[in-house]
Structure 1
Amino acid sequence: MPALTETRRKSAWPWLAALWLLVVLGLGWQQAMFWQSPRLDSDVLALLPGLDASPAVATASERLAGQGTRQLVVLLGHEDPARARAASLAFAASLDGDDRLRALPADATGAEALATYAAFQRGLLTREQRLALEQGDPAALANEALARLFAPGVAPRWAADPLGLDTGWWQARAGQGPRFAEGWLSLRADGRHWGVQRFELVGSAFALDGERHLQVRLDRAFAAARAVAGDGLVRMQAGVPLHAEAAAVQANREVATIGLGSLAAVLLLVWLAFRSLRPIVLVALSLAVGVAAGVAATDLVFGSVHLLTLVFGASLVGVAEDYGIHYFASRQQSDTPPRTLLRQLLPALALALATSVLAYLALAIAPFPGLRQMAVFSAAGLAAAFLTVVLWFPWLDRRAPRHSRFSDRVAATLARWPRWPAGRAGLVPALALGAFLVAGLLQLQPRDDLRSLQASPLALLESERDVGRLLDLPSPAQFFLVSGATPEDLLQAEERLLDRLAPLRAQGVLGGWRAVSDWLPSMARQQADARLRAAVEEKVLAAASATLGETLVPAPDPSAWLEPGTALAWPALSPLQPLWLGEQAGAWHSLVLVSGIGHESLGALAALHAPAEGVAWVDRAADYSGLLAHYRVVMGWLLLAGYAAVILVLHLRFGRSAWRAWLPTVLAALSTLALLGWLGMPLQLFGVLAQLLLLGFGVDYGIFLLEHRGDPSSWLAVSLGACSTTLSFGLLALSATPALQGFGLSLLVGLALVWLATPLFRQRPASPAPALHH
């Protein structure tokens, strides 16, 4: 019966190898199609789950996210206004006809907008005008009106607007932001005249070839502008496409650094250990198949691949090679035929694969799209590399690799490796280690910051802040969501909110705001302002009539009022249309965006949160940071459950010796966390996730040593695998993304400690270790 089973295995093996060949050919075709037009994503929020928000908040967030994803702003400044204007025109001319950038037209001119509002002027008062009319003395106002009567150009329209209120409302709004005149949009700030230009990206910002295509175009246009204006020209720029391109270029560089660095290290280790071209080629083949499978699986499941997934996945090279290295290490030290040897190794290899894949898939438990991408990428890649080794290596490997001094010396170190002292002798180092761990863990501080997932260049971030300051751009991550039963109720709720924001602006707590009701007052406010104005003007004209000795007739009451249904369609109000969310779930909603927000102003703005009055303060950055904190705690408990599950599984396989494979990883994990505390580095979600992977990988080393007690070839495979895995994840510490940087550093330290600690708790060999061949 055993002979029949063995015959069936031999007959099934070629068919499985051929089937895997077809799968790999399909992967090759899929990769060729994918990289012709890669579906890549760099949006940080795409890594995170959707917040548990109301439909109105979700709609608002989508509206704000989609509003400017393809737009960028360029400011050119010079002390001489003529040179600033010439530079702006030269900059625009250089990009005219560009196939990637389309210039956006300037907003409606002041004259056009003023004409649009002319019929509604009597119902439009500024906050200051309203206060002056309510508190002003009629006699003083009458004297002010008479003084205006004799001003040049005022007399023909004086009776219709004796107090000069008509243009005040519009001038207060026209003074906000840049002005369009003489063919260019400009503003004056910081001692310079700035030309403001807006562009929209045509096509994709992603070209993962390491080149800054968009930035090169802007640099070329700036050179043309400088040729006209001279060296005093200054440029500022901002926009999502610039960040997207910078992220793509950074990802390309990091994929090359981490992926190629890992591959070079792995191949060097293979060469030093086996001194043969065949192991290098076959291990490289398993790695290539693994990475291709990771990209294909991620694209198939999610429809795109995030750039951070590619950077994270580049470290897969240092993990997927373990199976091939373990095979060749055993092959080097044994005369057993390839297929027989692989069947002997298969239980340990399969158990190691299972623990690693489970560690990766544990990342997918949290509803983070980014983590799930990384989990699918890595699990699929490891499984593909494993199948390549199991199904192909026995057929492609016809001769055992040569021995080398390097491999023999590494393998021989196991016999000389110390063991943890037994009894009282081990108490002193145990107490010292315990003191180090406790003191370090007590200093460990959690920190959950959304910015840890961002890696935009510092110069671009500073330029973005300067553009936002000069243009008084509101924050898209923090805003007020205003609600009302009808459009009129909604506008009145906005006005009450703006009345409460005005003192904060006067105190310098915030820079300003952008709201629909600033340009489209409620019907109630228009009518109240019109009545107030008419009552005051009647008294002023009565006093003026007595002084002039003639009867002055006030202007007639307004015959029309501004209404949302018609006013929001005007070109002058087109920039406000994204703020008007319309009706949803039986209520009307709008956004009020605020600018000039600092850390000191967040508390004051949050204090205005009043759902009963239809005002909700939304801070997406704080919400996401809270979400990261929540899942850091959840994944921490999951990590503890994982350690409990692993010791149970190991006990089923190894009985009372299971702790020998489990304890080194526990000590390495605690030491890594304690070291973070000693160094003053924060614990973030990605740090907890690193501990999950450390559990999956670290236990593998103990499994191999328990499965093959005292076997030098097994220790050689563990050492080579630990070295390449540690280096691969350690290279993540070079990433510009803080989260990946901390992730890589944690695994660099943790994996090195596991490798050092595992032999300390190994069993004593049941029989003398086999002699090494020289």
Structure 2
Amino acid sequence: MRLTAILLVIASLFALACFALSRASNDLAEMLPAGDVQLAREARFFATQAATRVLVLEATAEPADLIAAGDFLTAALPRLAAVGARLPDAGTPAAVAKAAAVAYERLPELLSAEDLAAAGKHLEPAALAERLAALKARAAQPDDLLTVTAARQDILALAGGVLGRIESGPGGSRRAGAVFIHPDGRHVMLNLEVAFDPGELDRSEPLYQRCSELRAEAAAQRIDLAMIGPYRHYVENIRTVRSDLWVTLPIELALVAGLLLSLLGSVRSVLAIHVPAILAVTGSLAGAGAWIAASGGVLPLPLLGFIAGILGIAVDYATHYTVGLRRGHPPIRPLVVTFLTTASAFAVLLASSSPALRCLSIMVVTGLGCALVSTLVILPALLNERARPDRWRWLSVPLAATIEGHPRICLGLAAAMSVALLPGLAWLHFEGDLKRFDGSTRQAWKDLDAFMVRWGPPDSSSFIVAHAADRDAALAAVAQARRTLNLPPSQVERLLPDAQERAVRRAAWNAFWRDHADVADRLAAACASAGLRPAAFSQAIARYQPIADRDAGAVDWSGTPIEPALAMLVFRTGAAERGHPSGNAVWTVASPLTGVDRKTAAGLAQRLADQAPDSPAWIANRGDLGGRLIDVVRRELSAHGLFMVAAMLVLVLLLERSLIRGAAVLLPPLLAIGWSFGLLGWLGVPLSPFALLGIAFVLGIGIDSAVFLAHERGSAALSPILNASFTTIAGFGSMALAVHPVVAGMGLTLSLGMTAALFTSLLIAPALARRSAE
């Protein structure tokens, strides 16, 4: 009956864990405090943009080989289509013709009063005659019939700004079939649409492999081919992580297994102590699943990294219990004290306004709770232990004699280390550049940077953004914000005027052509001078007339080459942004701020807030998003940090009934965090958000070690403490050899933290515990 109950509980935990994993999300907005609407909407905006399914192939060749490079890219289209990347429909000849038809049909609403005023200069007799003479010369060239045909409909080229976007590309390039040719004569670009998100690695990797094959083939033809876009970065990130695991994991497993086996001396015991660890991980995820079911939230993917800490603490619990069982005195009370101390600290985070921190609180408490229960209930049934000598007596006995025999020297050494390392905290800073968390190859970033410089400035990092249930309302808010800031209109305002702006432009169009009602006579005179027939331009003359003041609705660029460019800037999301009262879909309009850096964007945001405090528009800047995200987490942890320490202090004092013994338990892990982060500060190593994993892990193992050293004298508790510390240092130290900056950073932080936790526990806990006993 007892076994059946245990199996039912485990099955329930496993089901909840699976539910939690099914609700895992990397949406930063879901992890931020509920009150920070501005940061949440900015994080979601950039997350939506990052999901754009665009891939670019850039070919570099000598001028003599440039046509061959373009032909190579065009010939590769069928092979790329087989792995999900194809030429957008908007790039076909039919799409180009449709864009021209839209431009001519909606011309009065695509031109501002300033555009018309500039066009008025071309109606002067001399300017018009010169234009017609040039047109006659071009008409004699058979390969330029498109220009002549366009001139018949629009001799003043009023639609030239719009149609120019069809035939031209980024960086002043020109379209040549499926590709764009850069003005420098050495680069060709192929812009592709991909049928899946970059995160679908089972499909992104074959696409990456196909591009690699094409690169090798192109090199044989003296063409350098570069893959640009998120698909390359996603695949190279995961490949870097895999490579790091293949290098570091065997080292880590060999060291950990060897250390545990050297202490326990039995393969069965080594396997048995991992059962509570597995159940701890399952219980941690199950707790998250229960919280998600109750709150309707999600499981933030970064929190899965904390599972490593829970796993290590669970192994620590089981190791202490196994060694104690061999001595005939299982350390039940120290284990309970350790659990309650750590759990009380993380329980404080339940009061946080951040969903991520509340979820973390539940995960730690339930995970360590399962670790404790399974250690006390299940582990004894798996072990076949009898009294055995301590296999690490050669180290623990002399070390215990040293630290217990010289408490003053130990405390003095701890004080000296604190004086040397803690001031480094003043120099500690967080890494705010999200690029530094990327594991792509250096060549990937080099190619991307060169591409951005060559094809245009990286002007997609800052935007004026507005959300609204109606697209016209969002467009109007953005346009008004630009006027408030005295900024010229962007392509969004030019190509997608809102309803009010459309009315203004129609009025300007009608006023202009009433003032130039003699356009037919002027054109006839110029045609006579150039030797052309005025009837050839009847379509243009009919177009250059006042129109009925009737709104035909928003300009529709769907199915044209302009649509992909606008799709990243004007889009509809399926659910309202956090902070919007409605749960319906909303429109997002983002107007690019070209060449605006982080500092300038902050100044524009302040100006907009001062001059138009009620404006629904806001400034989004990708450059400082990482720093602001870190600041939010830091503020949340700072706000609750003192309460976490207070909760641990109260609990330890209630359990120990001694201030000195309470200090023996709490001071080592807190100083360990201070020492390790102080050293990082002195070394100038910036902290990443993943350093928070180190805090949790060091806190848990540090409390563990301090409790056992405070409660037990001699070498009895020292051997498992040394073993747990060495296995952790060895495991995470091997991660410091990784290439991926996040993996290497975690390895460095955790190995330093665990080394500091071992030293603080050895130097402080026995000395203070002895003083309390005296």
Q: TM-score, structure 1 length as denominator? A: 0.77
Q: Which amino acid aligns with 1:567?
A: V
Q: Judging changes above 3 Å, is the alpha-carbon distance between structure 1 residues 17 and 346 closer, same or farther for their aligned structure 2 residues?
A: farther
For structure 1, list consecutive stretches of 5 or more residues without a partner in the other structure: 1-14, 505-511, 767-774
Q: How do 1:57-456 and structure 2 match up within 5 A?
A: 65-66=47-48, 69=51, 71-79=53-61, 80-98=65-83, 104-107=88-91, 109-121=95-107, 124-125=110-111, 129-130=115-116, 132=118, 141-153=124-136, 164-174=156-166, 176-177=168-169, 183-202=177-196, 205-206=199-200, 214-224=204-214, 227=217, 230-252=220-242, 263-295=253-285, 297-298=287-288, 308-332=302-326, 334=327, 336=328, 341-342=329-330, 345-360=331-346, 366-368=352-354, 376-400=362-386, 402-403=388-389, 405-417=391-403, 422=408, 432-433=416-417, 435-437=419-421, 439-445=423-429, 448-451=432-435, 454-456=438-440
Equivalent of 2:636 in 629, 634, 637: 634
1: CA distance, partners of 2:53 / 2:26: 15
Identity, % of aligned pairs?
21
Q: How do 1:568-587 and structure 2 match up within 5 A?
A: 568=556, 570-572=558-560, 574-575=563-564, 576=566, 579-580=569-570
Q: Judging changes above 3 Å, is the alpha-carbon distance between structure 1 residues 150 and 764 closer, same or farther for their aligned structure 2 residues?
A: closer
1: CA distance, partners of 2:390 / 2:551: 86
CA contact under 8 A between 2:410 and 2:763: conserved in structure 1? no
The offset of 1:325, in angstroms, is 1.3
2: CA distance, partners of 1:202 / 1:421: 64
Aligned residue in 2 for 1:771: none
Q: Judging changes above 3 Å, is the alpha-carbon distance between structure 1 residues 489 and 142 closer, same or farther for their aligned structure 2 residues?
A: farther
Aligned residue in 1 for 2:143: none
The offset of 1:94, in angstroms, is 1.5
The offset of 1:414, in angstroms, is 0.6
CA contact under 8 A between 1:523 and 1:563: conserved in structure 2? yes
Aligned residue in 1 for 2:512: 532
1: CA distance, partners of 2:526 / 2:189: 52
Aligned residue in 1 for 2:627: 625
List per-residue Cα deviations over 1:214-257 (Å, max 9, x = no partner). 33443335535754784332333344444444444455556677
CA contact under 8 A between 2:104 and 2:159: conserved in structure 1? no
2: CA distance, partners of 1:161 / 1:272: 88
The offset of 1:756, in angstroms, is 1.9
Q: Which amino acid aligns with 2:131?
A: R
The offset of 1:635, in angstroms, is 1.1
Q: Judging changes above 3 Å, is the alpha-carbon distance between structure 1 residues 402 and 219 closer, same or farther for their aligned structure 2 residues?
A: same
**1:602 has 2:606 as partner:** no
Q: Judging changes above 3 Å, is the alpha-carbon distance between structure 1 residues 644 and 616 closer, same or farther for their aligned structure 2 residues?
A: closer
Q: Which amino acid aligns with 1:82?
A: I
2: CA distance, partners of 1:247 / 1:104: 27
Aligned residue in 2 for 1:45: 28
List per-residue Cα deviations over 1:713-759 (Å, max 9, x = no partner). 21222222222334445555456665665555344323322322333
CA contact under 8 A between 1:608 and 1:617: conserved in structure 2? no
1: CA distance, partners of 2:655 / 2:24: 43
1: CA distance, partners of 2:617 / 2:739: 39
Q: Judging changes above 3 Å, is the alpha-carbon distance between structure 1 residues 533 and 570 closer, same or farther for their aligned structure 2 residues?
A: farther
The offset of 1:592, in angstroms, is 1.1
Q: Judging changes above 3 Å, is the alpha-carbon distance between structure 1 residues 358 and 267 closer, same or farther for their aligned structure 2 residues?
A: farther
List per-residue Cα deviations over 1:100-150 (Å, max 9, x = no partner). 55664343643332123223445654787445357x598xx3221222343
Q: Judging changes above 3 Å, is the alpha-carbon distance between structure 1 residues 721 and 377 closer, same or farther for their aligned structure 2 residues?
A: same
Aligned residue in 1 for 2:706: 702
Q: Judging changes above 3 Å, is the alpha-carbon distance between structure 1 residues 398 and 436 closer, same or farther for their aligned structure 2 residues?
A: closer
The offset of 1:524, in angstroms, is 0.6
2: CA distance, partners of 1:68 / 1:449: 16
Q: Which amino acid aligns with 1:352?
A: T
Aligned residue in 1 for 2:145: none
Q: Which amino acid aligns with 1:321?
A: V
CA contact under 8 A between 1:635 and 1:689: conserved in structure 2? no
The offset of 1:632, in angstroms, is 0.8
Q: Judging changes above 3 Å, is the alpha-carbon distance between structure 1 residues 382 and 459 closer, same or farther for their aligned structure 2 residues?
A: farther
Q: TM-score, structure 2 length as denominator? A: 0.77
Q: Judging changes above 3 Å, is the alpha-carbon distance between structure 1 residues 75 and 42 closer, same or farther for their aligned structure 2 residues?
A: farther
- Matched position secondary structure for 1:75: strand
Q: Judging changes above 3 Å, is the alpha-carbon distance between structure 1 residues 17 and 475 closer, same or farther for their aligned structure 2 residues?
A: farther
Aligned residue in 2 for 1:509: none
Q: Judging changes above 3 Å, is the alpha-carbon distance between structure 1 residues 681 and 264 closer, same or farther for their aligned structure 2 residues?
A: same
2: CA distance, partners of 1:159 / 1:397: 90
The offset of 1:678, in angstroms, is 1.6
Q: Which amino acid aligns with 1:653?
A: L
The offset of 1:186, in angstroms, is 2.4
- Matched position secondary structure for 2:191: strand
Q: Judging changes above 3 Å, is the alpha-carbon distance between structure 1 residues 601 and 63 closer, same or farther for their aligned structure 2 residues?
A: closer
Equivalent of 2:503 in 500, 507, 523: 523
2: CA distance, partners of 1:372 / 1:257: 35
Equivalent of 1:760 in 753, 759, 763: 763
The offset of 1:480, in angstroms, is 0.7
The offset of 1:280, in angstroms, is 1.5
1: CA distance, partners of 2:255 / 2:242: 19
2: CA distance, partners of 1:427 / 1:722: 20
Relative to structure 2, which stretch is displaced further, 485-494 or 245-254? 485-494
CA contact under 8 A between 2:511 and 2:546: conserved in structure 1? no
Equivalent of 1:725 in 728, 743, 753: 728
2: CA distance, partners of 1:468 / 1:608: 29
Q: Which amino acid aligns with 2:136?
A: G
Relative to structure 2, which stretch is displaced further, 427-436 or 69-78? 427-436
Could you say what the CA RMSD is over the residues aligned between the two structures, in angstroms? 4.9
Q: Judging changes above 3 Å, is the alpha-carbon distance between structure 1 residues 732 and 127 closer, same or farther for their aligned structure 2 residues?
A: farther
**1:714 has 2:694 as partner:** no
CA contact under 8 A between 2:601 and 2:619: conserved in structure 1? no
Aligned residue in 2 for 1:592: 591
CA contact under 8 A between 1:77 and 1:233: conserved in structure 2? yes
2: CA distance, partners of 1:484 / 1:46: 18
CA contact under 8 A between 1:315 and 1:732: conserved in structure 2? no
2: CA distance, partners of 1:231 / 1:547: 51
2: CA distance, partners of 1:318 / 1:159: 75
- Matched position secondary structure for 1:166: coil
1: CA distance, partners of 2:449 / 2:365: 40
